[in-house]
Copies of this chain bind each other. A is one copy, B any other.
Amino acid sequence: MPGFEILLQKQLKGKQMQKEMSEFVHERIKIEEEYAKNLSKLSLSPLAAQEEGTMGEAWIQLKKSLHDEAEVHLKFSNKLHSEVEKPMLTFRSDHFKKDLKKYDHHIADLRKQLASRYAGVEKARKALADRQKDLEVKTQQLEVKLSNKTEEDIKKARRKSTQAGDDLMRSLDLYNQTQSKWFEEMVTTSMELEKLEVDRIEWIQQHLRQYTTLRHETDMFNQSTIENVDQLLQAVDPAKDRDLWVKEHKTGDVRPIDLDI
């Protein structure tokens, strides 16, 4: 497989990785939504709703804090969607593949041209060797039998041999031009692909960091959902609750008294 194909496959694999990361984030979003839904549902539970006084208030706040937690996780999942999943999914759309194909065809054409030029060189090299051999044979014939006809043949063979030499030089020249163009294009294109890969890595890095930032935020926001509960639990006062309860239920207002005559 040509080295350039390997480079292109790396690009396609990179695109696939980015798509799979986006799928992974999508799964995480679903988990967060499910968790938020369950927390929110539980926060509406009527359990222990009849608890009274300051303890009742703390309990209401504790239940409410589950709703707040649910909101935090919902916000996390929404931001994961808009700031991580979606950008990852849409980065380098389908026309990226077309761009890669264009590179591929361009370099393949050059490679084909280069092969054809190489064959040309081989052919010219062989033609030159044939002409040189022919010239040699004719020169030996001259030593044996001198005639006008033979001298004419040698002149002709020498001219053809020189021409074959020129052909070879021209073929070599064409080959080397093509090789040089191929090399230049390979370097340019490889550098472009390298830049694309650096962009991809930095782009993923940036969005995965956005993921960790959102996770940090979630933990911090979660901390704050529990603060009100802490405060109200701190304020729980059984003596105050008793007073409230006695006033409400009016216990002790009617009771047997001492009797006298």
Q: Give Cα A175 to B258, complex, Å.
A: 8
Instruction: List the B residue with the shortest CB-CB distance to A168.
Output: B261
- Hey, which chain B residues are within 8 Å of A50, CB to CB? 13, 16-17
How far is A114 from B27 in the complex, measured between Cα atoms in Å? 73
A101 interface residue per 8 A CB criterion:
no
A160 within 8 A of partner (CB): no
Q: Which stretch in A91-99, A133-141, A146-154, A196-204 binds the other chain?
A: A196-204
Q: Shortest CB–CB separation between residue A222 and chain B, in angstroms?
A: 5
Choose one: B66, B229, B251; the contact of A6 (CB below 8 Å).
B251
Chain A residues proximal to chain B, CB less than 8 Å:
3, 6-7, 10, 13, 16-18, 20-21, 23-24, 27-28, 31, 34-35, 38-39, 42, 45, 47-48, 50-51, 55, 58-59, 62-63, 66, 114, 118, 121, 168-169, 172, 175-176, 179, 182-183, 186, 194, 197-198, 201-202, 204-205, 208-209, 211-212, 215-216, 219-220, 222-223, 226, 229-230, 233, 236, 238-239, 241-242, 245, 249, 251-252, 254-261
29 contacts between A and B (CB under 8 A): A3-B252, A13-B50, A18-B48, A20-B47, A20-B48, A21-B47, A21-B48, A24-B45, A24-B48, A27-B42, A34-B38, A35-B35, A55-B205, A62-B208, A62-B212, A114-B256, A172-B260, A175-B259, A179-B257, A179-B258, A182-B256, A197-B241, A201-B238, A201-B241, A208-B229, A208-B233, A212-B226, A212-B230, A222-B222
